[in-house]
Amino acid sequence: MSNLFTWITEKFRKNTIIPIFLIVFLVCSFFIDKFFSLGNFVNILGQNAEKGILAAGMTFVILNGYFDLSVGTLMGLTSCLTVGLTPVIGLIPSILLALCLGAAVGLINGLLVTKLKINAFIVTLAGMTIFRGITYMYTQQTVRGSSKAFYELSRGSFLGLPNPVWICLAFILLGQAVLYFTRHGRNTYAAGGNMSSAQNAGINVDRTVILNFVICSFCAAVAGVMYASKFNSASPTLGWPDAHMLAIAAVVLGGTKLSGGYGNMFYTLGGLCTLGMINNAMNLLKLSSYYNTLVMGIILIIVLYMDIVLREQSVPSKRANIPGAPKKLQKE
């Protein structure tokens, strides 16, 4: 029994997002009318499924020590292409095309970062404007969807949960499996934690980085396709201006180190659900719109602070407070 207890506290200490999530959940349940209901939870999940996929991809890149600012506009581009090309080449081919495009973009990002050694921030920032440009060259207006079946896909549900939620969960689980069970996953942690040691240990760091960018962009493409299905249309403004920041925020809020090497997919899920809950709560609270950003901003900071407090309690007392982050500042 005490074993179980220590196990639980141990887990809680490491995953600060769990207690944070629970606190937010309990507060919302007690104080907000209509929050605690199955329908509402399904709502929250459904509203965040696409963001979840975006964040799942971002987790890989962040674990690797980078971030990808181009996912938002890439998502817009793939979304527009999927919808726009469906009447021309058919639904399945256009989805495949969008997904391939996502992967190809990731490949290019990765190659630029590893082979040409251009700063990832610059590469993906450039990507952000480039994809936006291409999207608008392709269409300047919202494109209407033409496939009923495709639309119905995202409206359907299975065991009470909307299909997009299942897809999102599948991605998260799959992502966690890749992180935990494959060499690529472990190499990602190693490269993110200490790039030169990873290199010296014979890990093909470049390949790891490239693959992670591919995963991230691919996920963005998937999210784009899913939005296309959800909206039964695609707008060139999708993902602009801050989809990438929201994804990064979910990942970092979950507890994954922004500098890489520490974190996992469940943290991301926790961060995502926490953010989703807060958003939902604000809708239910009927706050005047001015308060939205205010409350969100304050909550972000409080959550971050709680994270630090919980983390500090969790470090074993002996020799723990030596400020010795590997190479960056202690940003966690």
Ligand X SMILES: Nc1ncnc2c1ncn2[C@@H]1O[C@H](COP(=O)(O)OP(=O)(O)OP(=O)(O)O)[C@@H](O)[C@H]1O
206 makes contact with ligand X (CB under 6 A): no
Query: Among 15-23, 99-107, 163-171, 226-234, which window interacts with other proteins (CB under 8 A)?
Result: 226-234
203 makes contact with ligand X (CB under 6 A): yes
The values of phi and psi at residue 99, to 5°, are: -65, -45
184 makes contact with ligand X (CB under 6 A): yes
Determine the Cα–Cα distance for residues 98 and 81; give it in Å rounded to an integer: 6
Q: Are 92 and 150 in contact (CB under 8 A)?
A: no
- Are β-strands 157-158 and 233-234 bridged in parallel, bridged antiparallel, or unpaired? unpaired
Tokens of 133: 């440009």
* Residues 123/128/130/136 CA torsion (nearest 10 deg): 170
Residue 203 or 281: the one with the smaller Cβ distance to ligand X is 203
- Are β-strands 233-234 and 143-144 bridged in parallel, bridged antiparallel, or unpaired? antiparallel
Q: Which residue type is seen at 45?
A: L
Select the binding partner of residue 184 from other proteins, ligand X, none (C-beta < 5 to 8 A, by kind).
ligand X
| Tokens 């969960």 -> residue | 169
CB of 59 to ligand X, least distance (A): 17
Give, rounded to a whole angstrom, the gap between the first and last alpha carbons of the chain.
Answer: 33
Query: Among 53-61, 141-149, 181-189, 250-258, which window interacts with ligand X (CB under 6 A)?
Result: 181-189
Select the binding partner of residue 241 from other proteins, ligand X, none (C-beta < 5 to 8 A, by kind).
other proteins
182 makes contact with ligand X (CB under 6 A): yes
Residue 185 or 255: the one with the smaller Cβ distance to ligand X is 185
Site string for other proteins, 128-167 (x = CB under 8 A): xxx-xxxxxxxxxxxxx------x---x------------
204 makes contact with ligand X (CB under 6 A): yes
Select from 110, 193, 224, 254 the one that contacts other proteins (CB under 8 A).
193
Determine the Cα–Cα distance for residues 58 and 247; give it in Å rounded to an integer: 7
